[in-house]
Amino acid sequence: MSRFDLSRDELAALLEGEPSYRVEQLWRAFHLEHLDVSEVTTLPRPLRQRLALEPALALAWRVARESTSDGGATRKWLLEADDGARVETVLMGYRRRTTVCVSSQAGCAMGCSFCATGQLGFGRHLSSGEIVEQVVLAAGEAARAGFGRLGNIVFMGMGEPLANAANVLGAVARVNRDLGIGARSVTLSTVGVVPGIERLATEPLQVNLAVSLHAANDELRDRLVPINRRYPLGRLMEACRRYREATRRRISFEWALIAGVNDRPVDAAELAALARPLGAHVNLIPLNPTPGYPVAGTDAAGVAAFRDALSERGVNATVRHTRGREVDAACGQLAAGMEVGGLGRRRPARVAAPAPLA
């Protein structure tokens, strides 16, 4: 648990007997000024000393390791909790607007074959406060580094956000209310948890939905993304259609291009057939190498050809600039450099790569 799991009323209860404005002072200091209790000098020293010992005001995470790349503009933190849970958070600093990629679970149970986190197995869900704390950490670092204001949050770190939907949606509501980051600046990436998409369609939060598709026929998707066996493409596309109808928001499909596996003309044709009726935008990401999945990403010429094949079929596609490759902070790489042994985490099996299709 994190101090960011506390509600205002719970914080007020900890400050019982103090003037009521102390609650606002402390709330602002935590959420907007990125201060620790000992740094809130507007509070009297004896109060600071008392609050510094209050377990409910502790932070969940300590930074066990920081790596940087892109001249310091990309920073990845390995965060560790008292129970041994470890997650990774990535800050991508831009001059005008900064983005943080957060984790929603320690590890992941989905087992996507190409994904470094999937190769680790599942640890536990993160609480809403543990997610918000990652955003606050990144916002504070962005301010110190002189980056643009942290304005975008992507749930593309460790874990499947819609497998921990209650806590993730709670975190989105909190960053919206307490940090002033609108839900429209938040992107939830799911590998295809259909009940979660159905729930999102009924939520008032206007988040962006990114579906990590990676294959457009069930035979290949069963191999790359095992949850497809439970929620095959027919059900997934129907959930996307209903989500689009209910929210009127554009969906994006994420496609990690894997050489010889899902980067052929026939793959582009199948993908276009799914994306076009939904008006979905496609993000193409050349697969990043991970220790457990020894298949290369598509080369630059192949990526361009795939994008052009989509475009010829009326589908807009963007090749995503992958930041942080050298610190294992690129898509599908979180946890690639992490030691095994965190809470409840299984030793990663070497995952058999799908044979390239003829």
Active site residues: 88, 331
Q: In this complex, which beta carbon is closest to ligand SF4, that of residue 37 or of residue 188? A: 188
The length of the chain is 358
Question: Is the Cα torsion angle 321, 90, 337, 70 positive or negative in sign?
Answer: positive
Should residue 117 be labelled a site residue for ligand SF4 when binding is judged by CB under 6 A?
Answer: yes
Should residue 115 be labelled a site residue for ligand SF4 when binding is judged by CB under 6 A?
Answer: yes
d(CA 169, CA 358) in angstroms, rounded, equals 42
Site for ligand SF4 in 173-202 (CB under 6 A): 191
d(CA 191, CA 157) in angstroms, rounded, equals 12
d(CA 169, CA 176) in angstroms, rounded, equals 10
Should residue 102 be labelled a site residue for ligand SF4 when binding is judged by CB under 6 A?
Answer: no
Q: Is 126 helix (H, G, I), strand (E, B) or coil?
A: coil
Should residue 118 be labelled a site residue for ligand SF4 when binding is judged by CB under 6 A?
Answer: yes
| Per-residue exposure over 160-171, b if at least 16 CB sit within 10 Å of its own CB, e if not | bbbbbbebbbbb
d(CA 208, CA 322) in angstroms, rounded, equals 20
Should residue 224 be labelled a site residue for ligand SF4 when binding is judged by CB under 6 A?
Answer: no
Q: In this complex, which beta carbon is closest to ligand SF4, that of residue 100 or of residue 112? A: 112
Q: In this complex, which beta carbon is closest to ligand SF4, that of residue 31 or of residue 214? A: 214
Should residue 108 be labelled a site residue for ligand SF4 when binding is judged by CB under 6 A?
Answer: yes
Q: In this complex, which beta carbon is closest to ligand SF4, that of residue 40 or of residue 335? A: 335
Q: Residues in contact with ligand SF4, total (CB under 6 A)?
A: 12
State the CB neighbour count (10 A cutoff) for residue 182.
Answer: 15
Q: How far is the CB of 221 from ligand SF4 (least distance, A)?
A: 12
Q: How far is the CB of 112 from ligand SF4 (least distance, A)?
A: 3
> 163: part of which helix (H) or strand (E)?
none
Q: How far is the CB of 272 from ligand SF4 (least distance, A)?
A: 22
Stretch that binds ligand SF4, among 104-112, 283-291, 299-307, 343-351 (CB under 6 A): 104-112
Angle between helices 128-145 and 165-179 (to 10 degrees): 40
Should residue 123 be labelled a site residue for ligand SF4 when binding is judged by CB under 6 A?
Answer: no
CA 315 to chain centre: 25
Beta strands in the chain (DSSP E): 62-69, 74-80, 86-92, 97-101, 105-107, 122-125, 149-155, 186-190, 208-212, 251-257, 281-286, 317-319
Should residue 160 be labelled a site residue for ligand SF4 when binding is judged by CB under 6 A?
Answer: yes
Q: In this complex, which beta carbon is closest to ligand SF4, that of residue 174 or of residue 214? A: 214
Stretch that binds ligand SF4, among 25-33, 92-100, 103-111, 167-175 (CB under 6 A): 103-111
Should residue 11 be labelled a site residue for ligand SF4 when binding is judged by CB under 6 A?
Answer: no
Give contact residues for ligand SF4 (rule: CB under 6 A).
108, 110-112, 115, 117-118, 158-160, 191, 212
